[in-house]
Structure 1
Amino acid sequence: MKVYFNLLVLLIVLGACERQGADRQSPPPQGEAAPEAMHSEANRTFEQLCQRFINDLWNLFPSWAISEGYYDVAEKLQVPDKGYRQHLMEFAQSYQYKFAALDKNQLSINSRSNLALIENFLRRLQWQYTDFMAYQWDPSLYNVSDAFALILNTNYAPLSQRLHTFSARMGQVPEYYQAAKAAISRPAAPQLELAIQQSRGSLEVFGEELEKTVKASQMPADAKKLFLQRLHDSRSAIQGYIDFLQNLQKKLTKSGNFHDFRIGEKLYEEKFQFDINIGMSAAKLYQRAIIEKQLTHDKMTRLADQLWPKYFPSNSPPRESLEKIRKLLNKLSQHHASKETFKKKVEQQIPELAAFVSEKNLLTLDKEKPLVVRTTPAYMQGFAVASINAPGPYHKNADTYYNVMPIETYSDQRAESLLREYNDYILQILNIHEAIPGHYTQLVYANQSPSILKAILGNTAMIEGWAVYAERMMLDAGYGNFSPELWLMYYKWNLRTITNTILDYEVQVKGIDQAQAMKLMVEDAFQQQAEAEGKWRRATLSQVQLTSYFAGFSDILALREELKKAMGNNFNLKGFHEMFLSYGSAPIPMIRQLMLADLAKQDNKFQ
């Protein structure tokens, strides 16, 4: 999972999401590659308005700016009070009016696609505060740690300068948490629990190591004194927020008056349209997933029939197909890393994946872009086993972090359950998804897109869909030598993608409980207990995001098949991949329009 979930959250997080970033510089121009766009008065007007929009955006969302690598606003920490929320609404309404005044018919197709992204963003931003209002019931949205960690750990400037920026920003932390406490009204229980957990993790960012760094630095004595005072005040503010949340948790547990974490059909469909943007309703995608689940069971049954004599030569297979599949999966799941070697195995597989992609000529990889496997920072834990933190477009060469949960710290029972889930077969597919040619590769390409808007206003279905597509594409290309064992495990993994959509819709709209959700995941999707428990928690913490995997994968696969049919002998897989990724993280229907337009200019050939 790419930590692109944070980009969805940032529209309501009021300054607490993360992607990696770096250079201090003005936002780059919004010019597109198409020559006609650069010579049109309408397009020039649009580009100028886009530039003003982005400048204002970063001043309103300085933490988001930092996550994209834009540090000119890094000293600012917006306080999430009522006045700020009103300012956000005025910003959205003002720019909605300005962009609506443009004549779309005079714009190039590239500019129209950027305009569609902006309009969706502005409508969504207003919806967040008038309808969804998670700022009242999701206290996990209030967390300052991510941007502070980036300032401290990213070498975008000398350490002394970064410490000065860190200090200035800390001056607003107490006010930030006072405003957070004032905004929260009857939170939902899962979000409250996560907020407490991650806020405790936040204290590490402001811990003893930072204090030692400041004392050992060349900062003037008065600046050190001010920094240490602000550090003390920030710790107190975070601890005060934790105490506030814990007291609220006790009170609401006693009364049972938590906000419902289920958002219901109306809000779910609205959020789905804003976030997924694939031209169908959430209900229709849910029905498609139900059908796909049965088709996947059928494929697994055929593989199980093939493999049964190899692994159980003396036993007759069970009559019930799901039980037969389960027994084979359990047998294969015994092959896994230890909890001490899990992270090392992840690291070892990355170069193997890169070599395969190059050997099969599937995609051009940039070997100069760093990928660092690390333990998930404490303030980010509690959501997913693995994730990616990618650099923003303002500093494309900064490290990309592959976050791996600290399984070595888990109890033996919990670790064994997770390790059986992420066994030697599944781990390879996980690394394809998260790293190469999945999230890591896609985000390197996104940062090269001539449209920065398609990088910063990215679509989650495209991002997660590409990672899921990459899994299937690699196996189709012969990764794993067409091993039936790997394919059986792939279908189990892909079944998780399908089940994510079913689970999310049934939890948020149909209101199933934990027991029903566990049955769906453990019995129908063959998931280990620990994985299913973690996914249940995630389904209570987020909405719609879990549908992005299946939605995006289905659309990308359909687009590839459409172009193969239309282009005939002119189609080649590498050309498709590189052209598809060149448009940044735009919604897939938008990429389809852009690809068709560009292919028409290129005589229906990839270049």
Structure 2
Amino acid sequence: MRLRVVACLLSVALSACASHSKSGAPSSSDLPTPERAATAAYAHFISEYMDWYLAANPVRATRLGFHEHDCHLQEVTAEALKRKTEALRGWMTRLEQVNGSKLSGDAAIDVVVLDHALRAELLELEEEHVWQRKPGSYVELVSVGLSSLSSREFAPVGERMRSLRARMTRIPGVVEAAKANLQDVPRLWAEQAIRDARGTVVYLRVDLPRALEAQGLEQVPGAEREAFNAAREEAVRHMTEFATWLEKDLLPRATGDFRMGRALFEKKLALEEYVTLDADQLRDINERAIRDYKAWVAREAAKVDPTQPPEAIMAALVSDHPASEELIPLARTQLVELQRFVREKDILTLPSDALPSVRETPPYERLSFASMDSPGPFERTGQAAYYNITNVEPEWSADEKSQHLTYFNRAGLLGITVHEAMPGHFVQLLYGAKVPTDVRKVFTPNSVIEGWAHYAEQMMVDEGLGDGDPAVRLGQLRRALQRHARWYAALALHVYNEPVDAVAKRYAEIAYFEPFPALREVERGTSNATYLYYAMGRMQILKLREDYRRSLESKGKKFVLKDFHDRFLQLGLPVELARKVLIPGDAAPSLE
């Protein structure tokens, strides 16, 4: 351990990662010669590639639960990114040389996952040009690089402080690379980066020392505390100067267009989410879903008051929200109640009795309304998980605060807690240990992560959550329409070139949103082009469930919801590939 700390502080060569025994490759001893050769080639490839991947992405490695590279930040100079691109192309060539058609079992599926992951990362570097156009990516590298070391206690506080110091010394390099690389930046992205950079300064000044104090900072020798605080003050200075540069230098010349365009949008969606439908097909599917959910809203609203239009019922629903100081306590109570409901209704097998901690979203991560900060699938000691809720900001007007809180209306907050924690993201985290290969743990698509959590919202009400209270169903339907509004916004912004204000107006109409939170959601969509994966993933899982049910019943077998959930969560696969495992011989589309 002392040698590793010295290596961090002296920046010596990166240490080798642990070997990845769960590669997905079967034992080759009893296989025919061609299969044995392919299996050996794949096992060799995946071991070397994963070692390279973790070293090339040290912050991601920390978040996954590998700590050999905790003292490093990813190199982001133009030269380093060029080297990374060349390395990825080399890995693509090597993967193509593995005879995937001769592989069997998990490995035969995982080579497809790897191929998509490699091509998606190359797309980001070579066609999206994220490092040239998105200043927030540099802020995120710093903020996540530091918070991933402070948010959970996977190692003694003194050791993590030394890794934090090492990463802090690399902040000037990140800032200088940003200044050299950034060009053709959209104005909105510059504004978002300024806000996030200032939030990172607050984190460095307030949240970081507070977190370490709660973890036993007083036990660290005084000299080390002083060295750490000196490094922290330097980090504050560099991030403050970066925020100023973003505002004074970059913002005035930030005239780039955030729109991705049809071809790049469709390519990105196919590589990242395994959906190959074109934009027009996706628009038709979404508009049909919006009509269906609107009709459902009308039926449920009539149960509340048949004399009022659905819009009035929804307005009354969202106006019934807790005060800002009540958000966190109420979510904690809901967590316990939802855990009991999952057990009583036999929804799925809960691998643990654990529950996440509920807290306000840290200031550098407040682009979303709520989120789950979970330990990585390979984390062995720092198992704390945090359910983040974004409360109102002090500088907002009274009207903005009120509009923001409508998102956390009482029925809505219940569904958010389902989504983020029980049985959504947090339970999916608990199932991580059951996923059979490292490849799937590292490269899980958003349509599975967010799709599962969003599916859980509807499934839980279908199974009786709320005891038939139309307000609970309306809250779930509003969130479903919010995700379909994101689907609409993604296509409208990046494919059909609609203006932001017009998209925000229709977003509010689709999702029964107030103008201010609707605009915030659409602004998020400018930099998260494929955030349709929430509703898309939910629709894929619902279709898979019904197709799986029919497949079992055609063979005289009984469908059990708990069995489906347990099997799906343990697979860790995109729905397109999960279908091939759950329904052998399946050729049906995952979305239509």
Greater displacement, 210-219 / 517-526: 210-219
Identify which of 136, 140, 156 aligns with 1:140: 136
Mapped to 2, the partners of 1:74 and 1:549 lie a distance apart of 31
1:179 partner amino acid: A
1:283 partner amino acid: D
Specify the SS of the correspondent of 2:436: coil
- Who is 1:74 aligned against? 70
1:590 partner amino acid: L
Matched, 1:487 2:473: yes
- Who is 1:596 aligned against? 583
Deviation (angstroms), 1:89: 1.1
Mapped to 1, the partners of 2:251 and 2:151 lie a distance apart of 36
- Who is 1:548 aligned against? 533
- Who is 1:206 aligned against? 204
Which deviations, in whole Å up to 9, do the C-alpha atoms of 1:441-488 show, x marking residues without a partner? 112213431212111111111111111111111111111112223223
Deviation (angstroms), 1:363: 0.5
Identify which of 372, 391, 407 aligns with 1:388: 372
Return closer, same or farther for 1:464/1:210 CA change in 2, 3 Å cut-off. closer
- Who is 2:426 aligned against? 440
Return closer, same or farther for 1:82/1:301 CA change in 2, 3 Å cut-off. same
1:389 partner amino acid: D
Deviation (angstroms), 1:54: 0.6
Which deviations, in whole Å up to 9, do the C-alpha atoms of 1:483-525 show, x marking residues without a partner? 2232233222211122211111011111222332232122333
2:187 partner amino acid: A
- Who is 2:318 aligned against? 333
Specify the SS of the correspondent of 1:388: strand
- Who is 2:349 aligned against? 364
- Who is 2:7 aligned against? none
Mapped to 1, the partners of 2:355 and 2:523 lie a distance apart of 32
- Who is 2:567 aligned against? 579
Identify which of 304, 317, 332 aligns with 1:347: 332
- Who is 2:6 aligned against? none
- Who is 1:301 aligned against? 298
Mapped to 2, the partners of 1:102 and 1:541 lie a distance apart of 35
Specify the SS of the correspondent of 2:257: coil
Identify which of 34, 41, 48 aligns with 2:44: 48
- Who is 2:510 aligned against? 524
Return closer, same or farther for 1:38/1:82 CA change in 2, 3 Å cut-off. farther
Deviation (angstroms), 1:80: 0.7
Query: What does 1:180-195 align with in structure 2 at a 5 Å threshold?
Result: 180-195=178-193
Mapped to 2, the partners of 1:225 and 1:416 lie a distance apart of 43
- Who is 2:10 aligned against? none
Deviation (angstroms), 1:109: 3.7
Identify which of 93, 98, 101 aligns with 1:102: 98
Q: Does the 8 Å contact 1:69/1:391 carry over to 2?
A: yes
- Who is 1:18 aligned against? none
- Who is 2:235 aligned against? 234
Q: Does the 8 Å contact 2:23/2:439 carry over to 1?
A: no
Specify the SS of the correspondent of 1:373: strand
1:400 partner amino acid: A
Deviation (angstroms), 1:421: 3.1
Mapped to 2, the partners of 1:37 and 1:505 lie a distance apart of 50
Return closer, same or farther for 1:151/1:306 CA change in 2, 3 Å cut-off. closer
Matched, 1:426 2:418: no
1:405 partner amino acid: T
Specify the SS of the correspondent of 2:580: helix
Return closer, same or farther for 1:534/1:27 CA change in 2, 3 Å cut-off. farther
Query: What does 1:121-132 align with in structure 2 at a 5 Å threshold?
Result: 121-132=117-128
Mapped to 2, the partners of 1:564 and 1:211 lie a distance apart of 52
Deviation (angstroms), 1:217: 5.2
Q: Does the 8 Å contact 1:265/1:509 carry over to 2?
A: yes
Identify which of 15, 27, 32 aligns with 2:24: 32
Return closer, same or farther for 1:408/1:268 CA change in 2, 3 Å cut-off. closer
Deviation (angstroms), 1:27: 5.1
Mapped to 1, the partners of 2:384 and 2:30 lie a distance apart of 33
1:413 partner amino acid: D
* Root-mean-square deviation (Å): 2.5
Mapped to 1, the partners of 2:248 and 2:581 lie a distance apart of 53
Identify which of 164, 167, 170 aligns with 1:169: 167
Mapped to 1, the partners of 2:585 and 2:387 lie a distance apart of 34
Deviation (angstroms), 1:208: 6.0
Specify the SS of the correspondent of 1:174: helix
Mapped to 1, the partners of 2:143 and 2:74 lie a distance apart of 14
Query: What does 1:208-287 align with in structure 2 at a 5 Å threshold?
Result: 216=218, 218-219=220-221, 221=223, 226-252=227-253, 258-287=255-284
1:495 partner amino acid: L
Return closer, same or farther for 1:34/1:362 CA change in 2, 3 Å cut-off. farther
Q: Does the 8 Å contact 2:131/2:182 carry over to 1?
A: yes
Q: Does the 8 Å contact 1:138/1:184 carry over to 2?
A: yes
Deviation (angstroms), 1:209: 7.0
Mapped to 2, the partners of 1:233 and 1:38 lie a distance apart of 59
Mapped to 1, the partners of 2:71 and 2:98 lie a distance apart of 34
Specify the SS of the correspondent of 1:340: helix
Greater displacement, 134-143 / 226-235: 226-235
Greater displacement, 237-246 / 64-73: 237-246
Mapped to 1, the partners of 2:339 and 2:544 lie a distance apart of 25
Mapped to 2, the partners of 1:105 and 1:174 lie a distance apart of 47
- Who is 2:9 aligned against? none
Which deviations, in whole Å up to 9, do the C-alpha atoms of 1:554-597 show, x marking residues without a partner? 1111111111111124211000000001012x211111112234
Mapped to 2, the partners of 1:186 and 1:335 lie a distance apart of 43
Specify the SS of the correspondent of 1:425: helix
Mapped to 2, the partners of 1:280 and 1:357 lie a distance apart of 35
- Who is 2:8 aligned against? none
Return closer, same or farther for 1:412/1:133 CA change in 2, 3 Å cut-off. same
> Normalization by structure 2: what TM-score?
0.88
1:287 partner amino acid: D
Q: Does the 8 Å contact 1:370/1:399 carry over to 2?
A: no
Q: Does the 8 Å contact 2:377/2:429 carry over to 1?
A: no
Specify the SS of the correspondent of 1:207: helix
Mapped to 2, the partners of 1:92 and 1:376 lie a distance apart of 35
Mapped to 1, the partners of 2:441 and 2:345 lie a distance apart of 28
- Who is 1:512 aligned against? 498
Deviation (angstroms), 1:333: 2.8
Deviation (angstroms), 1:396: 5.3
Deviation (angstroms), 1:374: 1.2
Mapped to 2, the partners of 1:549 and 1:541 lie a distance apart of 16
Question: Larger relative contact order (C-alpha < 8 A, sep ≥ 6)?
Answer: 1
Which deviations, in whole Å up to 9, do the C-alpha atoms of 1:299-358 show, x marking residues without a partner? 22223333325xxxxxx54xxxxxx10111122333221111012111110011111111
Return closer, same or farther for 1:518/1:180 CA change in 2, 3 Å cut-off. closer
Return closer, same or farther for 1:31/1:81 CA change in 2, 3 Å cut-off. closer
1:266 partner amino acid: A
- Who is 1:449 aligned against? 435
- Who is 1:4 aligned against? none
Specify the SS of the correspondent of 1:403: strand
Return closer, same or farther for 1:208/1:350 CA change in 2, 3 Å cut-off. closer
Specify the SS of the correspondent of 1:510: coil
- Who is 2:13 aligned against? none
Q: How many residues align?
A: 556
Mapped to 2, the partners of 1:141 and 1:343 lie a distance apart of 29
Deviation (angstroms), 1:411: 4.0
Deviation (angstroms), 1:51: 1.2
Mapped to 2, the partners of 1:484 and 1:449 lie a distance apart of 37
1:481 partner amino acid: D
Deviation (angstroms), 1:282: 3.5
